[in-house]
Amino acid sequence: MIKVGIIGTGGIAKCLQLRLQNIGWSVVFLVRRKTYSFNGAEHARNKMAISDLLDEANPDLVFLAISTLDRGEEAKNYIGHCARKGIPVVTCEKGALAYHAEALKPFFGLIGFTATVGGGTQLIGYLHDRLIPASEERVGVYSLTQRPSEDGTKGLIPFVNRRHVEIHAVINGTLNFVFDEVARGGRTLGEACDEAMKLGYAEPGAKDALSLINGELRDVVMKTCVLFNTTLARNEFITPSKLGAIELAPRQLEELNQKAADYRFVVSFSNRTAPKKRSFFNGNFEIAVGEWHIQGGFRQTHGDTDLASWLPGGVGNAVHIIEGELGSGGKYTLSGPGAGHEATTTVMQNDAERLLKHI
C-alpha cells in the first residue's frame, strides 16, 4: 500500500484525502496550521517538527496543498525537508517555485508541479513534451536534462530544443472567467466578480471586484515565474520582483470596466530575435531573460484573429505555441479547466503516480 502525507486543510486537501482513500492509498498524516493527525490522534503542531514527523511516518510521497500567504517560504521549507530525505512532493502551491526556484533547483526531479499552473489543463507537461527532446533522460515528472549546476550539484534544468518559438498563455482561469462573462454580454464586471467569488474561484482575501482582480494579478505574476522557471529557464530564474507588481487603482478598474468585454489577460514568451510589440491596457510587465522575451497584460481581443482563435471560455486556461521561423513549424493549442478542486486533485494524483513510477 502506498503511504502518503498531506500538508494543508483547505478544499484541495480535503478532496485529495477522499480521493486517495478511494483508490486505496493510506494517508498516514495530515498537517494543519495548528495541529496534525498521526497514528489516529490529534497533536499540537509544536509537539513534533516536520522533519521528525517524516521520519516517524515514513511516507512514500507528500502532497503539499497550502495557499501562498507569504513569499513561498513555508512551502519551500516543506519541500526542502521532504526532498533532503528523498521523499517526492506533489504541490499546487506557487510561491516556492516562483520565489525560490534557484534554491530548489537540485530537487526538481522530486517535485510534481503540474498543478501550480493551469489547473487541470496540465499545460506544463504539454510544454515539456513539445519543447524538450524525446532523447533527453526522463527524470522526475517530465523530461528534464540532468546537468551539473554552477555550485557543483546535479541540478535538473530544462533544455529548450527549438528556436523561433512563441508561447502565448491564459494562466489564470478566474480572470478569464470574469472577462469572458462580460464578453458574452450577460454580466457587468462587478456581477462577474461576485459570481467568481460565489463559485470559489477567487484567491483568498477577495471581498470585492478590486481586491479580486488585484489578487488574481498577483497570482498570474507568480504563475508566470513558475512556468518559466520549470519549463524554459536555463541558468537564470525569475521571481515576481523581477516582473514587478501589477495592481489596478480604483480609477483604472473603472476604466477597464468600460472595456472589459474586449480584453483578456495573456502572458507571452518568445525567443524570436525581434518579438512583436503589443499594446496593453494599464498594468503589464515586459522583461528579457537570456534568449526569452516575456510580456504579460490585458490584451485587446478585437481585431486579433490569432488570439481569438485559441482563447478559452469560462474558467479555462490555455497555451498556444507557434513554432519555427514565420510559424513554419505550425501552431499548437491546448486548453482545459483552470480552476476547481476536482481538476487540481486529478493533476496532483497524476503527478504522484508518475513520480512514484520513475523515482
> How much is the average pLDDT of 166-184?
94
pLDDT, tens digit, for every residue of 182-208?
A: 998 779 999 999 999 999 888 888 999
Q: What order do you get walking across the sheet with 41-44 strand by strand?
A: 41-44, 35-38, 26-31, 3-7, 61-64, 89-91, 111-112
CA distances from residue 51 to 77, 81, 82, 85, 306 in whole angstroms, order as listed: 10, 6, 8, 9, 50
> How much is the average pLDDT of 330-349?
89
Which residues partner with 44 through β-bridges? 35
HSE toward the beta carbon, residue 237, CA cutoff 13 A:
23
Per-residue pLDDT band at 99 (split at 50, 70, 90): very high
Of the listed ranges 132-136, 174-178, 272-276, 290-294, the least confidently predicted one is 132-136
Percentage, residues of the chain above pLDDT 90: 69
Pairing of strands 89-91, 111-112: parallel
> How much is the average pLDDT of 117-140?
73
Q: What percent helix, strand, coil does the chain show, rounded to 5? A: 45, 25, 30
Tell me, rounded to whole angstroms, the distance of Cα 232 from its chain centroid: 14
| Nearest residue to 71 via CA among 33, 106, 98, 34 | 98
Per-residue pLDDT band at 140 (split at 50, 70, 90): low
